[in-house]
Chains A and B, each alone.
Chain A
Amino acid sequence: MNRHLLSAADLNHDDALLVLDTAAELAALTDRAVKKLPTLRGRTVVNLFYEDSTRTRISFEAAAKRLSADVINFSAKGSSVSKGESLKDTALTLEAMGADAVVIRHPASGAPDRLAHSGWIGGSVVNAGDGTHEHPTQALLDAFTMRQHLAGGKGDLAGRKVTIVGDVLHSRVARSNVLLLATLGAEVTLVAPPTLLPFGVETWPCSFSFDLDSHLTSADAVMMLRVQRERMNAAFFPTSREYSRRYGLDVRRMNLLPDHAIVMHPGPMNRGMEIAADVADSERSVIVEQVTNGVNVRMAVLYLLLAGAQLGEPDGSDRTAEGTAS
């Protein structure tokens, strides 16, 4: 029974499609006058954020509120964590308050896993980014965005070519994307300087390269990763300018892309570093759309986890044929 979403690898092909299809139906809500559903009324969702975040926390908060859940926002700054409280004691406090789900972002890889399997709390745990490990809901919203543009909004991403460029080493987004996109049938190529590819990347379900230009001409989507200076305690490349010249997406490189290809970025962007401002603001850029889709995808995840879902066993029974609820 899968009560948690800790890794993109937790989702098999059917689970992933269930989340994306649910998100697609929920997206229709955005056009309605009343953007609120009663589905999670009386449930409590705690946003437990040990790291700074703008879009992910707001996105989870909006998603939970649109489903009528009660939302408690917890950020490490200004809490007892700054007095030295451990993750365990914080978790026990949340459990005592009756949290049905904990959305956790933590600088340590594996913290959500620890929280989910320690027995400290009884609710569902959703990984909203842990260290350099994973960020599964980002991968889901990226896949959702690609599906809207490249697959007519239906089915999986079989045969689509996705190029992920930049600081793969420090990127939880890249790892989750590679895992999920492989599940959905896409062909992923990582492009980065050798110093910014993680150890063991050859065992990932994707290919990798050190040359960006050659992987743009056939790409359906190119995803630029932020250079995470705050995690860099060594010199991974000589200068920012050199990095930008070799691995940044500028207008010349964007013009190498096929006409239908989209440009993505998980944000926050370093304009002028990994992505030129002209590219970020171009018509190919779906970066703002990614944020919109994030709310719908997170609503789908919260709905499927909290409304009693067992991801992996979508309910196949037929409501009306059974006549149980009509």
Chain B
Amino acid sequence: MSAARTPDETRTVLDSDDIARALTRVAHEIVERTKGADDIVLLGIPTRGVYLANRIAERIHVIEGRDIPVGSLDITLYRDDLRRAPARALLPTTIPPGGIDDKIVVLVDDVLYSGRTIRAALDALSDIGRPRMVQLAVLVDRGHRELPIRPDYVGKNIPTAKTEKVLVHLVEFDGDDAVRLSGEPGEGS
């Protein structure tokens, strides 16, 4: 019973240096696992996944000296919980000029939780083209999967309680880089 934190309090679990290191490692892993990242396309899931995809692409550029195609994939229209909430505004989907057919698509998102976003992303991808392989990179894996989906590249595994919230801030969108936890830690956290 760690009732020391009230629900309003937040705890920083990754600071900007941690995020930078995690992304650099993920970039190296992608290059290694795809044997040089020859035909990969990074697709970020808006909003923050797109910024993360761009950062990973910059790092791969440093490692391999080549530009990596980056796009964004909005999954709003493929969600399975659309009828539970007011309709959401759509976010941009941009597919790089080379397309995704026969490429290795690496989906990039900030937090992996139930896996439902990624399920929707896989549906969206199949309407756009047929990649040779699809992989998943996330900054934070917080557990509590509801579908048989696993990430290929993880910045940081953060065990959480379902009552907690993972707040990802990125400079490009929020003005600072940090991953914070808020809410009741609850039992078993």
Contact = CB atoms under 8 A, between A and B. Distances in A.
Interface in A22-40: 22, 25-26, 28, 32-34, 36-39
Contact of A21 (B79, B89, B167): B89
B89 A32 contact: no
B112 A307 contact: no
A234 interface: no
Given A21-B90, A321-B167, 18 more contacts: A25-B90, A25-B93, A37-B77, A37-B78, A39-B77, A39-B82, A307-B82, A307-B83, A308-B86, A315-B87, A318-B47, A319-B88, A323-B111, A323-B165, A323-B166, A323-B167, A325-B79, A326-B114
A278 interface: no
A324 B113 contact: yes
B54 interface: no
Interface of A: 18, 21-22, 25-26, 28, 32-34, 36-39, 67, 303-305, 307-310, 313-315, 318-326
B67 to A, nearest CB: 23
A320 B169 CA distance: 10
B17 interface: no
A68 to B, nearest CB: 10
B84 interface: yes
Q: Which among B88, B92, B109 has the highest number of chain A CB atoms within 10 Å?
A: B88
Given A320-B109, A323-B142, A36 B127 contact: yes
Given A25-B74, A318-B47, A326 B112 contact: yes
B123 A314 contact: no
Interface residues of B, number: 39
B85 A308 contact: yes
Interface in B26-73: 45, 47-49
Q: Which among A28, A303, A321 has the highest number of chain B CB atoms within 10 Å?
A: A321
A34 to B, nearest CB: 4
Contacts of A315: 85-89
B116 interface: yes
Interface in B68-126: 74, 77-79, 81-93, 109-114, 116-117, 123
Contact of A28 (B48, B93, B165): B93
B123 A321 contact: no
B133 interface: no
A222 B138 CA distance: 50
B127 A34 contact: yes
24 contacts: A21-B89, A25-B74, A28-B93, A33-B129, A34-B128, A37-B77, A38-B78, A38-B123, A303-B77, A308-B86, A310-B87, A313-B86, A314-B89, A315-B85, A315-B87, A315-B89, A319-B88, A321-B168, A323-B166, A324-B113, A325-B79, A325-B114, A326-B112, A326-B117
Interface in B132-184: 138, 142, 165-168
Contacts of A324: 113
B89 A18 contact: yes
Contact of A320 (B47, B82, B88): B47
A32 B127 contact: yes
Nearest to A35: B127
A315 B114 CA distance: 21
Contacts of B142: 323
B101 to A, nearest CB: 10
Contact of B87 (A33, A303, A326): A303
A308 B78 CA distance: 14
A285 B79 CA distance: 39
Contacts of A322: 165
Contacts of B85: 308, 315
B113 A325 contact: yes
Contacts of B88: 314-315, 319
Given A38-B78, A310-B86, A325-B79, A320 B116 contact: no
Contacts of B48: 320
Given A26-B90, A315-B89, A323-B165, A308 B113 contact: no
Nearest to A320: B110
Contact of B83 (A25, A32, A34, A308): A308
Given A36-B127, A38-B77, A320-B48, A325 B116 contact: yes
